[in-house]
Amino acid sequence: MQADLKSRRPMVTPTRVTSGPTLLTGICFCAKCGGAMTLRTGKGSAGGMYRYYTCSTKARQGETGCKGRSIPMDKLDDLVAGHFESRLLHPDRLEEVLASVLDRRQERSARRRAHRRAQQADH
């Protein structure tokens, strides 16, 4: 947890990486070369804008730098969000997490009551 918090400090990670509109910025890497995936935009044939993730090495150096693929941003964002949803928001997992939260809350409550009793006994 501390390492995660430390890695998100503005002096370590640029603010745009942690607060930008791109979901996977800073955590999505090319399967071919390991380079960071970056947002690229373009115009479609109907004049609409499209957004996709592409390997930053390929974006800078072309096919000679990396032969990695570009992936539509919406498609990859949906795949990742769907995976998290199915794993983290599964009813069994939620039940386990909530039970743990309730257990910790009861333990804190019991400690506070014991502390109050000890304080009253001292007076």
**How many angstroms separate the CA atoms of 107 and 104, rounded?**
5
Domain ranges, ordered by start, for the chain: 23-72
Q: What pTM did the predictor assign?
A: 0.53
Residue 110 has pLDDT above 90, yes or no: yes
Q: Are 36 and 16 in contact (CB under 8 A)?
A: no
> What is the tens place of the pLDDT at every residue in 100-109?
999 999 999 9
Predicted local distance difference test score (pLDDT) of residue 17: 44
| β-strands 71-72, 49-55 pairing | antiparallel
Predicted local distance difference test score (pLDDT) of residue 39: 87
The overall average pLDDT reported for the chain is 81
> What is the tens place of the pLDDT at every residue in 4-22?
655 555 555 444 444 456 7
Residue 46 has pLDDT above 90, yes or no: no
